[in-house]
Structure 1
């Protein structure tokens, strides 16, 4: 968005965002009604005080008036407490719904969004920006409404009581306006910059802390200290700017209010002495004046928070307007017995930088297709297109005679098992990781069967907690081989009809590689398998091998055929033998 577009982002956009999550309007209305009744009680109290002062002597207080006054205070307390709770409840439930909507949308965004945005920046939108909106809804907005009622009601009563004294208060209006308008603009600008700086720091911190082992192994602490402190310093400087503005604003506002109070107090005292104003009227006038001064002091905070909420709303709306992955389609398909075909597929991440150029291959049912070739040639991109993380720029990918882009996305992915060289696991238990993505609960017997097929049963049973063992963030408490076998067991339990293996043994030591390869051989039985491989035994046994170099298929056939007809493949095999 341009600066001009930012300045045009209005309260109606904020209201539209809030309405989009169906807030509990009836409860909000009740909460506002009770809060308004609280404001009404605060308007009655000065009148009761006036009557009490004017009708009572020092030794003989009007008990009936005291009782009514006490009742008004109690009503103000009860209505205020219940109204405040209801408004807070509505605010909290609305933000819960907004976060759920935003979270669901983030999960539905395509991989391309995450390629271009740091996860910490996105989580800042989900947590920090929604918190800003929550604070506005649950605290500042109700206070603004009730304060506004108090202010308007008090002004009306004051003009009815004594228009001359009430007119004195308007001396402060030009002063307050001159203060609020320029300072409000400054606070708006600083608020936006502060939120952006905070999101950037959150993004950087999340990324760096997730790779803390790389930082430590590379002696990168000193560099990261400087980098982190630079971002922290930027937030600090913006925070100080904000503090300076508020530090100037609050005393000026208080001075203006205090000056107004002194003027009214002096003028009122003269009127009481001259007999044109009773003591009770004077006390009531001062109480109403407090009813005006207190909300005016909070209005500056409200408008500052409103500007921050506008910035937060703007970023959330931008996220929600991003297109999601292909919507669910009615067409579902059973891929059993159907070949996978890629026909003249080309793809690029960046214009004029092709990754794949007219790639074609076919994988028959229960066959093993291997992709080999130099690193960076485009092999993993083939898998990404098959998973539908991206759409081809040209060409078609089919299962049988059906384009995979016409198949319901969930239906397509649930029939694929994917094991990469760094298979992802989540913090949690082994049981939770084995069942991840399944829509039904597996029995312990089924889980142990999956672990057995993946040659993982033995090491899991060696843990004191077994299936309930916590494996830590990204599986840090497991070795590389153990983590791979958990991923393979998960693939077994998923029972996929298409299996994709992306160098699943590349980063393992020889002992772990042997165990994982045995597990993979088990998993590949009676499934259509696509393999990106460096292990010679897998390549030799494949039904067909495709050599991909610089985004093109430069040769295909079985192992013996390629050895005779493809010089680069022959060289590749020789390198594997030497290793």
Structure 2
């Protein structure tokens, strides 16, 4: 099968990277529950306000402390306050976590929906592992920020603001001295935050690359083992692991600076408060209870500050993740539903002056014109790299032609909705891709509505797949394994044919459907293909001319151009390269004899 690739699609303009507005926009688009968010914020405010009252109770207790002054009502009041604060705080944390989980679930839902409608060109130019990383790792970073750090950020902000307000009320001079230390910490924390953003962005890129490597190697583990490439892949994997390790060390260094710095700030503030506060207590400007309250409020300021710092560190990571998620969400997508339905499919397919080139690349197809009559078989042959598979991709509208048109009858295929147009096709390729699941699931894959057992068994019989299914202990419920690895190539091909039969396509596309099979499997698959091709417009890509000698017309494509068309006999007579192809395939087989197909071709050649 020919390999195709596509240039990068045009990207939509968006705000500059690293912009927190991107993150806010993305969160708003998930439509979080406003009532739940409001209740969560109210509970956070209530919990914080109650926490701010506790030091005042402590102040009164210290200033007027005596055993005789203690009463049951005071103890009960303090106990009730603690219980209410605990309940409010717990409810707030739960609700904010709930919102965080809902936001991330909605975000992953949008991404998953987007991934399914992105065009083939996107997957041509973006590695699968990186795409998976966007869906899992990057959304995980956003989830961690919202579900784990957002709660402490809100409560921390409220606690800091409330504590500072109360401290200003108690003694504005001591509060001013205390606040004078904080700007010093900011001088260090701000550049550290920027550094953390750069490190996090690099870490996310490296994580995506490592995920890509894992996906690639593990999905093709048999190729790795058959090639004795374990050592090479281990080296590649170790390189990725060490890159992640280095980024982790950089992140650890920044965190190692931030945590002690926050502890230093706390100790400086504590020393200042105790020293300066002790002087004011001795002078009578401040009571001992007020000094204790100051220290308690200081704790309510410094502890949330560390949480706020952690939040901003995580927020920088989330911004980097947001950039990649937004890139994916903003990518151009296919419109599956706009356009009219295909009402008549038994019309000729007309290709006129078709041209296609990948962006900034050499043309793949040039001025291709041909006509496929309904119910006929058209074979497409020629040297590898000539554009045969690209032509199939254009017919199925995976790519947009750069020149010319493709019509069904007199109607350009672009006027049909993608869903309606693609439903007309049945595609059987050399690879015959299967999805992990049962044989029943794979045969019924993509079929609208429920499939009865009678319909399933009829399709299986027509595809000659029922013969080996009966021999399996679990029959149609047998698991095929990842990519159908538990089945032989011929069995996979027949399941693909049964799937196509069940869909009842009007146009059939066969891309070297038997080229990788042994002679015994090929015979069975050919018989199944005859049942599938019966009464359908069929286009066949084939390297072995023996499979297409009976086609109604054969198109010979060289370097993106049709250099000959006609029946097998006509091309043998007038097309030099086709005749060379036929001659090469008329050589003796490994046993030194001429097989039946070769004999037929020789007879045809002699007749000519």
**1:577 counterpart SS class:** coil
Tell me which moved more, 149-158 or 160-169.
160-169
1:122 lines up with 2:131 in the alignment: yes
Equivalent residue, structure 2, for 1:24: 33
Is the 8 Å Cα contact of residues 56 and 62 (structure 1) preserved in structure 2? no
1:323-342 matches, within 5 Å, as 323-326=332-335, 328-342=337-351
Equivalent residue, structure 1, for 2:409: 400
What's the CA shift string for 1:312-350, capped at 9, x where partnerless? 111111122211124522311134321111111011124
Structure 1 spans left out of the alignment, 5+ residues: none
1:38 lines up with 2:47 in the alignment: yes
**2:539 counterpart SS class:** strand
Deviation at 1:24, TM superposition (A): 1.3
1:555 lines up with 2:564 in the alignment: yes
Equivalent residue, structure 1, for 2:218: 209
Decide which of 254, 276, 290 is 1:267's aligned counterpart: 276
1:422-461 matches, within 5 Å, as 422-461=431-470
Tell me which moved more, 100-109 or 322-331.
322-331
Is the 8 Å Cα contact of residues 17 and 323 (structure 2) preserved in structure 1? no
Deviation at 1:222, TM superposition (A): 1.1
CA distance in 1, matches of 2:457, 2:61: 81
**2:586 counterpart SS class:** helix
Deviation at 1:536, TM superposition (A): 3.9
CA distance in 2, matches of 1:283, 1:434: 75
CA distance in 2, matches of 1:265, 1:62: 30
Deviation at 1:362, TM superposition (A): 1.1
Equivalent residue, structure 1, for 2:94: 85
Distance verdict in 2 for CA 1:342–1:487, change over 3 Å = same
Is the 8 Å Cα contact of residues 48 and 65 (structure 1) preserved in structure 2? no
Tell me which moved more, 275-284 or 213-222.
275-284
1:462 lines up with 2:485 in the alignment: no
1:414-429 matches, within 5 Å, as 414-429=423-438
Decide which of 234, 249, 252 is 2:258's aligned counterpart: 249
Is the 8 Å Cα contact of residues 49 and 280 (structure 1) preserved in structure 2? yes
Is the 8 Å Cα contact of residues 104 and 139 (structure 2) preserved in structure 1? yes
Is the 8 Å Cα contact of residues 182 and 265 (structure 2) preserved in structure 1? no
1:5-84 matches, within 5 Å, as 9-58=18-67, 61-84=70-93
Is the 8 Å Cα contact of residues 429 and 513 (structure 2) preserved in structure 1? yes
Is the 8 Å Cα contact of residues 32 and 142 (structure 1) preserved in structure 2? no
CA distance in 2, matches of 1:535, 1:224: 36
1:138 lines up with 2:147 in the alignment: yes
**1:471 counterpart SS class:** coil
Decide which of 495, 516, 519 is 2:528's aligned counterpart: 519
Deviation at 1:574, TM superposition (A): 2.6
Decide which of 359, 384, 398 is 2:368's aligned counterpart: 359
1:409 lines up with 2:409 in the alignment: no
Equivalent residue, structure 2, for 1:156: 165
Equivalent residue, structure 2, for 1:477: 486
Structure 2 spans left out of the alignment, 5+ residues: 1-9, 590-608
Is the 8 Å Cα contact of residues 52 and 62 (structure 1) preserved in structure 2? no
What's the CA shift string for 1:186-222, capped at 9, x where partnerless? 1111111111111111112211221111111111111
Decide which of 352, 366, 380 is 2:389's aligned counterpart: 380
Decide which of 504, 519, 543 is 2:513's aligned counterpart: 504
Decide which of 546, 552, 555 is 1:546's aligned counterpart: 555
CA distance in 1, matches of 2:582, 2:258: 75
CA distance in 2, matches of 1:375, 1:12: 50
What's the CA shift string for 1:271-313, capped at 9, x where partnerless? 4455443333232222111110111111221111111111111
Equivalent residue, structure 1, for 2:354: 345
What's the CA shift string for 1:414-473, capped at 9, x where partnerless? 110000000111111112211211231212222122111111112122222222211111
Equivalent residue, structure 2, for 1:196: 205
Deviation at 1:529, TM superposition (A): 0.5
Is the 8 Å Cα contact of residues 417 and 496 (structure 1) preserved in structure 2? yes
Tell me which moved more, 100-109 or 55-64.
55-64
- TM-score, with normalisation over the residues of structure 1? 0.96
CA distance in 1, matches of 2:140, 2:572: 62
**2:508 counterpart SS class:** strand
Distance verdict in 2 for CA 1:56–1:126, change over 3 Å = same
CA distance in 2, matches of 1:7, 1:371: 48
Aligned residue pairs total 577
Equivalent residue, structure 1, for 2:312: 303
Distance verdict in 2 for CA 1:273–1:59, change over 3 Å = farther
Distance verdict in 2 for CA 1:68–1:120, change over 3 Å = same
CA distance in 2, matches of 1:537, 1:336: 29
- TM-score, with normalisation over the residues of structure 2? 0.92
CA distance in 1, matches of 2:391, 2:565: 16
CA distance in 2, matches of 1:197, 1:294: 33
CA distance in 2, matches of 1:69, 1:459: 77
Tell me which moved more, 20-29 or 381-390.
20-29
1:232 lines up with 2:222 in the alignment: no
